[in-house]
Amino acid sequence: MAITKYQAEYAKVFQQNILLSAQNENQQNLIEYLFNKVPEAFPDDYLIEEENNDINEN
């Protein structure tokens, strides 16, 4: 029974992570769109360089 409980909780959290990932991707796309259309809306001190932290995205 405990395994079933944890499987259900894992499925719930996994689904939440999928939704958050999709929301994050949509927000990133919107930011890129706005930056390309209206770059003056992004002052230089707000911009940071993108870093690759050696995270394997599989």
Question: Is 58 a member of any domain?
Answer: no
Considering the entire predicted model, what is its pTM?
0.58
As given in the structure block, the two tokens for residue 3 are 């395994």
What is the domain range of residue 8? 1-46
Question: Is 16 a member of any domain?
Answer: yes
Note the pLDDT tens digit of each residue in 1-58.
788 889 999 999 999 999 999 999 999 999 899 888 888 877 776 666 666 666 665 5
Query: What is the model's pLDDT at position 54?
Result: 65
Using CA of residue 40, residue 43, residue 46, residue 48, what is the dihedral sign?
positive
Return the percent helix, strand and coil in the chain, to nearest 5. 70, 0, 30
Selection from 26, 30, 27, 31 nearest residue 46 by Cα = 31
Question: Is 55 a member of any domain?
Answer: no
Number of domains in the chain: 1
Query: What is the model's pLDDT at position 23?
Result: 97
Question: Is 57 a member of any domain?
Answer: no
Task: Identify the DSSP state of 42.
Answer: S
